[in-house]
Amino acid sequence: MNLCIFRKKPVILRFYILLIVLVGSTGIQAQKDYKWEREHPGALLKPKADPVAGFRATSIFDVLNQIPLLNKPRGFEVREGASARLHGKIYKGYLMVGLPLYYRWGNGPLEKQGEYYMANIYINDREELRNIYSFLLSEETDKLNLPPIFTDTFAVSYQTINGYSVGVSRSRVNQNLYILNPRKRPCFIPTTKEQFIKLWIGKLGLDIAKEKGNMEETKGFLKDVKGNAEAEANMRQTIKLSELWLDFLVEKKKRYEQKLASLTAAEKQAPAYCAMPKDMAVLQKKGFYVNKVTGDLPNELADGIEAESTSPVFQFNPDFFDPKLPKTAFQLIVIKDGFRQGWNEGPLMPLVQEDFFPKIDFKLLEALMYK
């Protein structure tokens, strides 16, 4: 039996080696067959009208289309598009410049990419300047009708590009950002301790109400397991643990209320930091249920907590947009490179980074703002 197995193994090994060689050869051949038609003249496809009356997206394209890379494309087509929607009291806009390449497989017909590079332009959209994965207590802020809060925004520095001072940054996924905010209004502001404590008081109130509801529901099931000693014991243990957790939440809420009452006016306006505690509140430690819940919850106010780490807490600046301007006015422009540095470099990357972004007339774009 063993001899038979040993005879088969070299055959199987040779088969896999042959398969790897064939697949590798096919991949190499495909690379040879694929050809970017670098000199094929392209077309510039511009939007015919603005997406909303007064929202002058076509004016932005008029500035960008002064760049030879776009108005005299070779090896690719230029596709431009725009959309806008009312967000509160101001219009947000999304513009894109897509560059699908022309290519051939071997001596086959000329083809055009179906998925292709896009540069994105965001108008009045501060979402693009913060980490969307850093929201805190998003469910609670929604339920309590409070502004969203988060812990991570992108640092902005200023560089002179094409003779103009431009804000530059890099997104969480390593995309270059070019920012026009000539009035230098802060997009984000710190969340104050007073605001953060009030949020936590509200959150704990929601948690207490939910825990009470769950506990009453569990108590209602006791009659269904009457006579089943094991099931009844498990359910009573669940109720006991729920009572312990409820006591912890009630005490935690009381402490926050006392903390808020003790703050001076200056302390209330101080920036809040949240903490990841070393002593996490749990119902079980070292395999045994606790008799009293102690410790802290993730993302509580950092004051007085022994923390693994702390983070500042931010929110959108409610005074960023000038209410005296029209709803369609451009008050913030963010241009995002479609390439992720070190991730998806392609044949267009050097062209875009050398002949597109450095050639944008940011001064002309600024002239379109605040109108």
Least confident of 27-31, 78-82, 169-173: 27-31
According to the model, what pLDDT value does residue 32 have? 59
Q: What token pair was written down for 57? A: 């997206």
User: Average pLDDT, stretch 75-101?
Assistant: 96
**Cα distances (Å, whole numbers) of residue 23 to 11, 15, 17, 32, 34:** 18, 12, 10, 14, 16
Residue type for position 305: I
Residue 194, pLDDT > 70, answer yes
**Cα distances (Å, whole numbers) of residue 285 to 280, 293, 295, 309:** 10, 10, 12, 22
According to the model, what pLDDT value does residue 3 have? 37
According to the model, what pLDDT value does residue 227 have? 80
Question: Tokens 């290519």 belong to which residue?
Answer: 103
User: Average pLDDT, stretch 323-337?
Assistant: 97
Q: What token pair was written down for 115? A: 């998925």
What's the rounded Cα separation, in Å, for the pair 268 and 187? 22
Confidence of residue 219 (pLDDT cuts 50, 70, 90): confident
Q: What token pair was written down for 321? A: 């947009």
Residue 4, pLDDT > 50, answer no
User: Average pLDDT, stretch 83-112?
Assistant: 95
Confidence of residue 132 (pLDDT cuts 50, 70, 90): confident
pTM above 0.75, yes or no: yes
Residue 172, pLDDT > 90, answer no
Give the angle 212-226-282 at the CA atoms, nearest 5°: 35
For the chain, the first-to-last Cα distance in angstroms comes to 86
Phi/psi region, residue 337 (left: phi>0; alpha: psi -120 to 50; beta: rest), is beta
Least confident of 9-18, 154-163, 324-333: 9-18
Q: What token pair was written down for 304? A: 């007085």
Confidence of residue 341 (pLDDT cuts 50, 70, 90): confident
Residue 319, pLDDT > 60, answer yes
Segments in the chain forming alpha helices (H): 2-33, 57-64, 68-71, 138-143, 193-220, 229-262, 265-268, 349-355, 362-367
Confidence of residue 28 (pLDDT cuts 50, 70, 90): very low
According to the model, what pLDDT value does residue 265 have? 98
- Of 82, 151, 88, 154, the closest CA to residue 123 belongs to 82
Residue 98, pLDDT > 70, answer yes
Q: Which residue has the higher pLDDT, 345 or 193?
A: 193
Share of the chain above pLDDT 90, in %: 77
Look at residue 60 and give its three-state secondary structure: helix
According to the model, what pLDDT value does residue 74 have? 96
Instruction: Please compute Rg for the chain using Cα positions.
Output: 30
- Of 24, 77, 96, the closest CA to residue 348 belongs to 77
Residue 64, pLDDT > 90, answer yes
Q: For all residues of the chain together, what is the average pLDDT?
A: 90
Q: Which residue has the higher pLDDT, 340 or 83?
A: 83
According to the model, what pLDDT value does residue 220 have? 84
Residue type for position 367: A
Domain ranges of the chain: 44-130+154-188+318-367, 193-270+278-295
Beta bridge partners of 159: 166
Residue-level length of the chain: 371
What's the rounded Cα separation, in Å, for the pair 33 and 270? 63
Q: Which residue has the higher pLDDT, 174 or 12?
A: 174
User: Average pLDDT, stretch 139-163?
Assistant: 95
Q: What token pair was written down for 302? A: 């950092």
Backbone angles phi, psi at 335, to 5 degrees: -110, 125
